[in-house]
Amino acid sequence: MDELVLKQVTELAQTWLGEAYDAETRAEVQAMLEKEDKTELIDSFYKHLEFGTGGLRGIMGAGTNRMNIYTVGAATQGLSNYLNKAFADLPQISVVIGHDCRNNSRKFAEISADIFTANGIKVYLFEDLRPTPEMSFAIRKLGCQSGIILTASHNPKEYNGYKAYWNDGAQIIKPHDVNIIDEVGRVKPEDIRFKGNKALIEIIGEEIDEAFIEQIKTISLSPGAIKQQANLKIVYTPIHGTGVRIIPACLKAFGFTNIIPVPEQNVVSGDFPTVVSPNPEEPAALNMAIEKAKETDADIVMASDPDADRVGVAIKNDRGEWILVNGNQTALLFIYYLITRWRETGKLKGNEYVVKTIVTTELIKTIADANKVACFDCYTGFKWIAAVMRELEGKMDYIGGGEESYGFLPEDFVRDKDAVSSCALMAEITAWAKSQGKSLYQLLLDIYVEYGFSAEKGISVVKKGKSGADEIKQMMANFRSNRPKEIAGSPVIMAKDFMNLTAFDPQTGETTALDMPDTSDVLQYFSKDGSKVSVRPSGTEPKIKFYIEVRGTMKRRDDYEKALAAADVKIKAVMRSLGL
């Protein structure tokens, strides 16, 4: 063990025994100091949990590198300081506070409410747990300047987090993010105003739920199909989280009458007792729901993550087997349905657009192009989709936007991914398909037949510690300086580098500028046969991520298995090309 690190950590921990900290925190720190094994002490104090562009996220406990009332308090105090500067001309600044099911989420929400009000800011505090998209909706509905949600999304149970939003209901981007980070960085424990003004706290709940659901109902495009298929068998699980009441209520408001719960997972719990990970991207998280679907011969399975912004879907194939729909396919189904129904109902006027992240399937662009709908690419993360929406507000009509990591937004009155509206809309798509004599699985295959087949694979290579971080940096440098000339035998026809915002055409030797709002450490390669490879280091974990997409053809539904097998061979060849 590095004695210098231990000495520094011990000195920092001892400052947490002072009067600025409460008795419970001091006792927890004292216990860590007295333990013979110093691992926990070092992990808790070796760095400061940084308020980054996505807010805070970390393991709960005492220490500078942990989620606790002081790290949350400093974030709220810093955000309060910035709001009071940014909106100094307003007679009353206001914020919305929401939270998920996690342990300590309510406590952190109430402490944050006290700090905001101690700084003269009015707080609309949800009475109980609510989805992240509803908090985003409430900011816009109530005309607030900001909002926060206490959630660690789909992280393991030891974690909690804090996400900050701006007055448009979207997560904060430049210049506000860096300015808030500066403010938070300057806050000392003694600066945090914990003693609130209860007169400035207004509890909200049912009235926002009702307004939110009423607004979501306006996105329905096939009421006739829902009426015809009202008894559609829908298995839904909130995986112990915030979707537990509002998603079934929203499905009923759409007209669905047969929502089948997974009772064990309707238990609200920050311990997530029935799953290893409460993440609908993980196949195991849907196991119980799929078992329930088998018992009840359901039409569709849907699961939302703890803060109900992501949705996972399972459907039956033609052999009656339940299969998982990946994030790219989910986004594809949404975009196909929305554009098709906008066209069929006469809503397409030639001024519409969709948004996808750069690592999401290019089939979305193919569908948009074929229907004369603009398709905008943005970086990974829904704040970038929201940034496009902000830029185009009042100029073009938003149809929908999504990303491969199970997030979709089919409306513009929320500015973050939304599992509440997505579940309602996915049920509607299932009803619409069924009213035409198709299953959702067959609808997906028909999209491939009409627009071409694609298959995607995400690969994360874990490289831990400082040496791992150095290795990831070197891998990115190698890809940058030694551009692949071919991918699985197909020539590279375009290479994009989002760090210096250039696109290079190897055939002409021409370099053009990429129009993006910021730089990002992402590389992309497009080959002649339609394959796409994206490479980026993870912003939150010790990983380098590869996103592979390969294209194929399907002349009829029966070709699907063959197309999948051919894609698997091609993906393996791409991996070999990349040295994976």
Question: Is the pLDDT at 393 greater than 60, yes or no?
Answer: yes
Instruction: Please tell me the predicted confidence (pLDDT) of residue 540.
Output: 62
Please pick, among 146, 153, 531, 577, the residue that the annotation labels catalytic: 153
- Mean pLDDT value across residues 177-181: 92
In 264-404, at which residue ranges do the beta strands (DSSP E only) sit? 300-304, 311-316, 322-325, 352-357, 374-378, 397-403
CATH of the domain at 173: 3.40.120.10
Query: Cβ-count burial of 339 within 10 angstroms (0-12 exposed, 13-18 middle, 19+ buried)?
Result: buried
Instruction: Please tell me the predicted confidence (pLDDT) of residue 121.
Output: 98
Listing DSSP states for 468-515 in one string gives HHHHHHHHHHHHHHS--SEETTEEEEEEEETTTTEEEETTTTEEEE--
Residues 227 and 359 in one domain: yes
Instruction: Please tell me the predicted confidence (pLDDT) of residue 538.
Output: 81
Residues 416 and 301 in one domain: yes
**Does 443 fall in a domain?**
no
Instruction: Please tell me the predicted confidence (pLDDT) of residue 412.
Output: 97
Residues 108 and 40 in one domain: no
pTM score of the predicted model: 0.95
**Does 61 fall in a domain?**
no
Domain-terminating residue out of 175, 204, 233: 204
Other Cβ atoms closer than 10 A to 568: 13
Q: Higher confidence at residue 571 or residue 463?
A: 571
- Mean pLDDT value across residues 150-171: 95
39-53, 287-301, 319-333, 555-569: which range is least confident on average? 39-53
Segments forming the whole domain that contains residue 528: 453-577
Question: Is the pLDDT at 60 greater than 70, yes or no?
Answer: yes
CATH of the domain at 513: 3.30.310
Residues 519 and 397 in one domain: no
pLDDT band at 49 (very low <50, low <70, confident <90, very high): confident
Helix residue ranges per DSSP H, 202-320: 206-217, 223-228, 243-254, 287-296
**Does 179 fall in a domain?**
yes
Instruction: Please tell me the predicted confidence (pLDDT) of residue 580.
Output: 87
List residues bridging with 86 in a β-sheet.
none
Question: Is the pLDDT at 445 greater than 60, yes or no?
Answer: yes
Residues 225 and 199 in one domain: no
Residues 136 and 219 in one domain: no
Report which secondary-structure segment, H or E, holds 443.
helix 440-451
Instruction: Please tell me the predicted confidence (pLDDT) of residue 117.
Output: 98
**Residue of 407, 412, 518, 546 whose CA lies nearest to 53:** 518
538 tagged catalytic: no
> Does residue 484 contact residue 577 with C-beta atoms inside 8 Å?
yes
**77 token code pair:** 């105090």
29-43, 123-137, 295-309, 331-345: which range is least confident on average? 29-43
**Does 87 fall in a domain?**
yes
Question: Is the pLDDT at 54 greater than 90, yes or no?
Answer: no
Instruction: Please tell me the predicted confidence (pLDDT) of residue 276.
Output: 94
Determine phi and psi for 197, rounding to 5 degrees.
Answer: -115, 100
**Does 123 fall in a domain?**
yes
- Mean pLDDT value across residues 243-260: 98
**Does 58 fall in a domain?**
no
Measured over the CA atoms of residue 85, residue 86, residue 89 and residue 91, the dihedral's sign is: negative
List residues bridging with 59 in a β-sheet.
159
Residues 408 and 515 in one domain: no
Residues 194 and 214 in one domain: no
Residues 143 and 170 in one domain: yes
Instruction: Please tell me the predicted confidence (pLDDT) of residue 266.
Output: 98
**Residue of 51, 254, 181, 125 whose CA lies nearest to 135:** 125
Over the stretch 523-552, which tens digit does the pLDDT of each residue have?
999 999 999 999 999 866 678 999 999 999
**329 token code pair:** 């396919």
Q: How many domains does the chain have?
A: 4
Residues 432 and 514 in one domain: no
**Does 248 fall in a domain?**
yes
**Residue of 71, 420, 432 whose CA lies nearest to 213:** 420
Instruction: Please tell me the predicted confidence (pLDDT) of residue 467.
Output: 75
> Does residue 447 contact residue 438 with C-beta atoms inside 8 Å?
no
**Does 57 fall in a domain?**
no
Instruction: Please tell me the predicted confidence (pLDDT) of residue 15.
Output: 94
Residues 501 and 407 in one domain: no
What's the CA gap between 385 and 391, in Å, rounded?
A: 10
Domain-terminating residue out of 177, 204, 231: 204
How many Å from the N-terminal Cα to the C-terminal Cα in the chain? Answer: 34
Residues 291 and 392 in one domain: yes
Residue-averaged pLDDT of the chain: 95
